[in-house]
């Protein structure tokens, strides 16, 4: 099945070879946007079924990012696809050089379950903008969205241009063995390693959008009300199942009490006294993840951590309350694995340098957040750490900025997505060099005294 789909797309690519220019790409993107607009009700329903995602969150974090990516691509496609002339270097005087972006070919997009709509279609927009044919493999853990994606793509894309192949690990493994020209994977670092190993066999290039623990530093000069609001939103949106969600917070000891009070007030303001009844709060994706999160909380409290807020849950409906813990230590599982749920450990610190050292000693995070008014502290945090991105006095929002690259580093990913970076991920920037005056022939054999003098001169001038 997967092999047949691949063959169909590869044949489509061959047929389109020179016939998939800017107008055709625009038409494909416009048709996709129209289908998304026409299916909005179904999209809202699918995300509600899979994750209990509130309508506002589905609109802002699933539908909007894809439509914005399409709009941005339509606006800039002409510039991105332009053949760019570059100046000759001294040694290349007399030549004409250009860079011609070309599609990589037939690409595979493997998506996760937490933003199952936008993380499947966002990369597809970039792949189409760059002129590729694509297979999209949605996550089997968001089945309603997976089925919807298959219908939506079938209704709006040519079958030899885009195909959705539904399925789980087995299907994914089958697809990864095919000779795709690029693999764009979004998911966990563990499966990222599997993807890269598979790509090594076919020499496909890869973009890996992975996860990990994204730390937060709340400095002594932070505006605590604003900080609490941004953190509660960043952590509890989609019930914490967000790759760039704040994982844990380091807070300056002097402001810890006030910060915790502000955070609890913010949780109450956002989700009311009974978050289970709130229409603003999502659900855990499945019972396995629900049990994993409960075990993280219980493991931490059994080992001495304090529950400051939440902790309750209901396995039947996969509701887990917005939860805040203090007193977690490095040995606890909650401090080692990506939490990926509505549970926020808050750790008081005395020495910022020690916190920066601890962050630098671990895996490089996908995002790092700093809340502070003192610009020196903000600059120090940025200079002393390495992460996929930095958010200053805000969480999550850098994801929506299409003039910024989005991606990780090291354990949190490889390569970047969004806007022009997404286009580039799916393009080969092909250099073309033309010799106009045959000037380089002076350096070719037979080597004479003149060529020796020339070689010495060239070496002196540019070496
Ligand atoms: P996952 O790695 O378990 O699954 C992702 C995809 O890979 C799914 O489509 C799944 O079917 C497939 N897959 C799973 N196991 C596989 C295997 N052994 N071989 C081949 N394919 C396999 O990730 P998930 O649980 O869906 O998502 C959560 C993770 O994704 C978190 O770590 C999160 O931080 C990360 N994430 C990162 C980003 C980002 O943009 N960087 C965005 C969302 C999620």
Q: Which two tokens stand for residue 408?
A: 């990780």
Question: Distance between CA atoms of 184 and 121, rounded to whole angstroms?
Answer: 12
Query: Using a 6 Å cutoff on CB, does residue 338 contact ligand 1?
Result: yes
Q: Which of 73, 86, 2 is nearest to 32 (CA)?
A: 73
Q: Is 209 a catalytic residue?
A: yes
Q: Pick from 342, 346, 122, 369: which is nearest to 238 by CA?
A: 342
Return the domain boundaries, the chain.
2-210+410-430, 215-400
Say if residues 26 and 49 touch (Cβ distance below 8 Å): no
- Return the ligand 1 atom nearest residue 113 CA: 26
Compute the Cα dihedral for 134, 139, 142, 144 and give only its sign: positive
Please state which CATH number belongs to domain 2-210+410-430.
3.40.605.10
285 Cβ below 6 A of ligand 1: no
168 lines ligand 1 (CB under 6 A): yes
Between helix 143-156 and helix 22-38 the angle, nearest 10°, is: 130
Superfamily of domain 215-400: Aldehyde Dehydrogenase; Chain A, domain 2 (3.40.309.10)
Provide the residue-wise pLDDT of the chain in tens; the chain has 463 residues.
Answer: 799 999 999 999 999 988 799 999 999 999 999 999 999 999 999 999 999 999 999 999 999 999 999 999 999 999 999 999 999 988 888 899 999 999 999 999 999 999 999 999 999 999 999 999 999 999 999 999 999 999 999 999 999 999 999 999 999 999 999 999 999 999 999 999 999 999 999 999 999 999 999 999 999 999 999 999 999 999 999 999 999 999 999 999 999 999 999 999 999 999 999 999 999 999 999 999 999 999 999 999 999 999 999 999 999 999 999 999 999 999 999 999 999 999 999 999 999 999 999 999 999 999 999 999 999 999 999 999 999 999 999 999 999 999 999 999 999 999 999 999 999 999 999 999 999 988 788 889 999 999 999 999 989 988 8
Distance 358 CA to ligand 1 centre (A): 26
177 SS3 class: coil
Q: Read off the DSSP letter of residue 89.
A: P
User: The tokens of 102 are what?
Assistant: 């070309």
CA distances, 124 to each of 108, 127, 193, 213, 361 (Å): 9, 5, 22, 27, 35
3 state SS of 342: coil
Q: Is the Cβ atom of 175 under 6 angstroms away from ligand 1? A: no
Evaluate the omega torsion of the peptide bond into residue 446 and state whether it is cis, within 30 degrees of 0. Answer: yes
The closest of 242, 334, 389, 415 to 381, measured between CA atoms, is: 389
**Cβ atoms of residues 138 and 149 within 8 Å:** yes
Compute, in angstroms, the gap from residue 188 CA to the centroid of ligand 1: 4
Tell me the Cα Rg of the chain.
25
Q: Is 288's C-beta closer than 6 angstroms to any atom of ligand 1?
A: no
pLDDT given at position 347: 98
Q: Shortest CA distance to 422 belongs to which of 181, 116, 72, 34?
A: 72
111 CB near ligand 1 (under 6 Å): yes
Q: What size, in residues, is the chain?
A: 463
Helix, strand, coil shares of the chain, percent, nearest 5, are 50, 20, 30
Q: Is 147 exposed, middle or buried (0-12, 13-18, 19+ CB in 10 A)?
A: middle
Give the span between the Cα atoms of 156 and 32, in whole angstroms: 6
Q: What 3-state class would DSSP assign to 356?
A: helix
Give the residue, out of 145, 170, 188, with the most ligand 1 atoms within 8 A of its beta carbon, to mutate for a pocket test: 188
Catalytic residue list contains 429: no
């Amino acid at each position: 099945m997967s092999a047949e789909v691949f063959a169909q797309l590869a044949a489509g690519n061959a047929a389109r070879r020179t016939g998939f220019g800017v107008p055709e790409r625009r038409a494909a993107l416009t048709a996709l946007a129209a289908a998304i607009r026409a299916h909005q009700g179904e999209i809202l329903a699918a995300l509600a079924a899979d994750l209990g995602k509130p309508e506002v969150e589905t609109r802002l974090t699933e539908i909007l990012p894809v439509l914005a990516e399409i709009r941005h691509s339509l606006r800039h496609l002409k510039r991105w696809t332009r053949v760019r002339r570059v100046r000759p270097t001294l040694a290349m005087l007399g030549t004409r050089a250009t860079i011609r972006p070309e599609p990589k070919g037939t690409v595979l997009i493997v998506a996760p379950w937490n933003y199952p709509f936008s993380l499947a279609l966002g990369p597809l927009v970039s792949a189409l903008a760059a002129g590729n044919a694509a297979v999209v493999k949605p996550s089997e853990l968001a089945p309603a969205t997976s089925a919807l994606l298959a219908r939506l793509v079938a209704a709006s894309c040519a079958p030899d241009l885009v195909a959705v192949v539904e399925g789980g690990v087995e299907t994914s493994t089958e697809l990864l063995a095919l000779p795709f020209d690029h693999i764009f994977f979004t998911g966990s670092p563990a499966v990222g390693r599997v993807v890269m190993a598979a790509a090594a066999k076919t020499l496909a290039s890869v973009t890996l959008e992975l996860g990990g623990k994204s730390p937060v530093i709340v400095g002594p000069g932070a505006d605590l009300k604003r900080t609490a609001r941004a953190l509660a939103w960043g952590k509890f949106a989609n019930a914490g199942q967000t790759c760039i969600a704040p994982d844990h917070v380091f807070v300056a000891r002097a402001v810890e009490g006030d910060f915790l009070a502000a955070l609890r007030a913010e949780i109450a303001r956002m989700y009311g006294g009974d978050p289970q009844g709130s229409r603003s709060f999502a659900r855990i994706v499945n019972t396995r993840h629900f049990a994993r999160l409960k075990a993280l909380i219980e493991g931490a409290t059994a080992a001495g951590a304090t529950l400051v807020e939440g902790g309750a849950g209901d396995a039947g409906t996969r509701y887990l309350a917005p939860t805040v813990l203090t007193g977690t230590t490095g040995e606890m599982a909650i401090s080692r694995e990506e939490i990926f749920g509505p549970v926020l450990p808050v750790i008081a610190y005395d020495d910022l340098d020690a916190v920066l050292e601890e962050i630098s000693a671990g895996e490089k995070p996908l995002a790092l957040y700093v809340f502070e008014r003192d610009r020196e502290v903000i600059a120090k945090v940025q200079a002393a750490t390495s992460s996929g991105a930095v958010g200053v006095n805000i969480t999550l929002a850098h994801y929506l900025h299409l003039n910024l690259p989005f991606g990780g580093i090291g354990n949190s990913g490889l390569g970047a997505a969004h806007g022009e970076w997404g286009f580039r991920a799916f393009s080969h920037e092909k250099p073309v060099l033309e010799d106009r005056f045959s000037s380089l022939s002076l350096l070719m054999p037979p080597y004479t005294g003149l060529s020796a003098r020339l070689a010495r001169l060239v070496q002196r001038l540019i070496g």
